[in-house]
Amino acid sequence: MTDRYFYQHLIDLNEIHNLLNQVELEESERQKLLDTIHHTIHLEVVKFVLDELPKDQHHEFLATYDKRPTDNGIIVFLRRSITNLDHRLQHIIHQVVSDFKDTLHDYLRSSEEYLAGI
Amino acid sequence: MPKKKKISGFSYLDKRFVARHKKAAQKLIEAHRPTIDHVLKAGQPLKQLQTESFKLLTASAISGALLLAPMNPLAKLTTPTNENVLNIEPQLNKDDIPEAKPDAIRKTLIVRQLTDALPTKVQKLNSSQREQVDRIINQRLQISASSNLDGHELNTDYGYIGYEQHLFRYPGDSIADHDEMRLAGIAPKRGAFGYFTSSRTSFSEQDKLKEKYYFAVQTFKAPGWRENVYQLKEWFKFRKVVAINTKTGDAVVGVIGDAGPAVWTGKQFGGSPEAMAALNLDKGSRKGEVLLLFVNDPNNEVALGPL
């Protein structure tokens, strides 16, 4: 999933990686979880863009994005129509990542409680 | 105190993660169903949105043969095992697929016809197969193309293609000067046929397109190469070719811009980042089965780029 999308530079999954390192996982399991995170970010980003973009540009955006998801031109195109795009995208992504971090924290806490016999 | 049951890390996390993902898919579809329905019905694959949750939600909302794809909607549209596709070729009526783009119909027909004409595994085609393929390509893509041109041919015309990097187009060129798909990087050396032009000042739009849609072919394995290396190299240099993804019907016209890939790779052709994107082979393993034919275009009338 890495470097596939125009917003890739706004994603920081270091904390997620650190949390996943504390869970006993097969590599394939770890990858599946990371893929789900990326897919979720992806859907949230697309929703945000469609929310903000004028309707007559929806088709063009989806078609371009579908064919060339890494094209730098996409973000240039979006910056013209959506004010403060990078900051707002970063905020959306941060929220999604936080949700997953919370889930990981919940799990780790439950595990600690289990190990402590609580 | 009852003993607690240890929670399996993966199953717990996967369940929660997938639930969050479904929520995102549902939000997107609820907010923008008309747009998504419209685009999907128009034949746009929206492969970037194809996640399990998204597919489940859209499949329940949208009817039609085009929209029931399990993995890649475009592949579904063009896979011969699709009963709907089998039943509509070659007298496919545009009206049979509501709001389908002519482009999607053409691709469907190409795949259907090529499936009948091609052997089950990639290999050099025999004369009968070549005749059929030439006829299909000429009919469907409206260009004259064949495996043999002026008595010259490659080691194969039906093989695997892999993803290549950009090439230097003129002395001093860099990846930063390329306008698309920079993440693909640039090969450390010039292509086997040298720069596309001698200097930045002479760099034309046509040169730009040549690099954008270049192919690497195994010239060193072409019949007669050892005996006529200089003559053949000149003939192959920037020779116009067309590549057709035999699984999707995507096609792109480009030029021979490099020699390769190495035999040990198991691939017979290489494609520039843009050519691979045009062939719908720029994701996943970035490898696929293609036909690669010479374009008979003495008056240079066939434009470089996706067909």
Residues facing residue B242 across a β-bridge: B253, B293
Q: Return left, alpha or beta for B104; rule: phi > 0 is left, psi -120 to 50 is alpha, else beta.
A: alpha
pLDDT tier for residue B276 given thresholds of 50, 70 and 90: very high
**More reliable by pLDDT, B18 or B109:** B18
Give me the pLDDT at residue A107, please: 83
A34 part of contact set with chain B, CB < 8 Å:
no
A110 part of contact set with chain B, CB < 8 Å:
yes
**Domain residue spans in chain A?**
8-116
Q: What angle do CA B24, A6, B282 make, to 5 degrees?
A: 100
Q: Distance between CA B115 and CA B119 in Å, rounded?
A: 8
* Residue B192 three-state SS: coil
Distances (CA, A) of A101 to A8, A13, B16, B258: 19, 10, 11, 47
Q: Which residues of A touch B182 (CB under 8 A)?
A: 72
B9 part of contact set with chain A, CB < 8 Å:
yes
Give me the pLDDT at residue A116, please: 61
For chain A, how big is the Rg over CA atoms in Å? 17
B181 part of contact set with chain A, CB < 8 Å:
yes
Alpha helices in A1-118 (DSSP H): 14-21, 27-52, 58-67, 72-81, 85-115
With a CB cutoff of 8 Å and minimum separation 6, the contacts of A79 are: A85, A86
Q: What angle do CA B293, B103, B82 make, to 5 degrees?
A: 90
pLDDT tier for residue B41 given thresholds of 50, 70 and 90: low
Burial B65-99 (b: 16+ CB within 10 A, else e): bbbbbeebbbbbbbbbebeebeebbeebeeeebee
Strands B214-217 and B251-259: parallel
Per-residue pLDDT for chain A (118 aa), expressed as one digit of tens each? 445 678 888 899 999 999 998 888 888 889 999 989 998 998 899 899 999 998 888 888 887 777 777 777 888 888 888 999 999 999 999 999 999 999 998 888 877 665 565 4
Q: Which residues of B touch A114 (CB under 8 A)?
A: 4, 6-7
* Lowest pLDDT segment from A56-70, A78-92, B32-46, B175-189: B32-46
A107 part of contact set with chain B, CB < 8 Å:
yes
Averaged pLDDT, B232-251? 92
pLDDT tier for residue B88 given thresholds of 50, 70 and 90: very low
Give me the pLDDT at residue B63, please: 27
Q: Return left, alpha or beta for A49; rule: phi > 0 is left, psi -120 to 50 is alpha, else beta.
A: alpha
- Residue B43: pLDDT above 60? no
With a CB cutoff of 8 Å and minimum separation 6, the contacts of B200 are: B170, B171, B172, B173
Give me the pLDDT at residue B216, please: 94
Averaged pLDDT, B116-126? 89
Which residue in B1, B16, B54, B177 has the most chain A C-beta atoms within 10 A of its own C-beta, making it the best mutation to test that interface?
B16
* Residue B261 three-state SS: coil
- Residue B294: pLDDT above 90? yes
- Give the tokens for residue A38: 């990326």
pLDDT tier for residue B64 given thresholds of 50, 70 and 90: very low
**More reliable by pLDDT, B64 or B32:** B32
pLDDT tier for residue B102 given thresholds of 50, 70 and 90: low
Q: Judge: A96–B24 Cβ closer than 8 Å, yes or no.
A: yes
pLDDT tier for residue B37 given thresholds of 50, 70 and 90: confident
pLDDT tier for residue B46 given thresholds of 50, 70 and 90: low
Averaged pLDDT, B135-146? 87
* Lowest pLDDT segment from A26-30, B68-72, B182-186, B293-297: B68-72
Determine the residue of chain A that is closest to B48 in CA distance: A66
Q: Which residues of A touch B99 (CB under 8 A)?
A: none
Q: How far is A35 from chain B (nearest CA, A)?
A: 10
- Averaged pLDDT score across all residues of chain B: 77
pLDDT tier for residue B36 given thresholds of 50, 70 and 90: confident
- Residue B236: pLDDT above 90? yes
Give me the pLDDT at residue B195, please: 93
With a CB cutoff of 8 Å and minimum separation 6, the contacts of B126 are: none
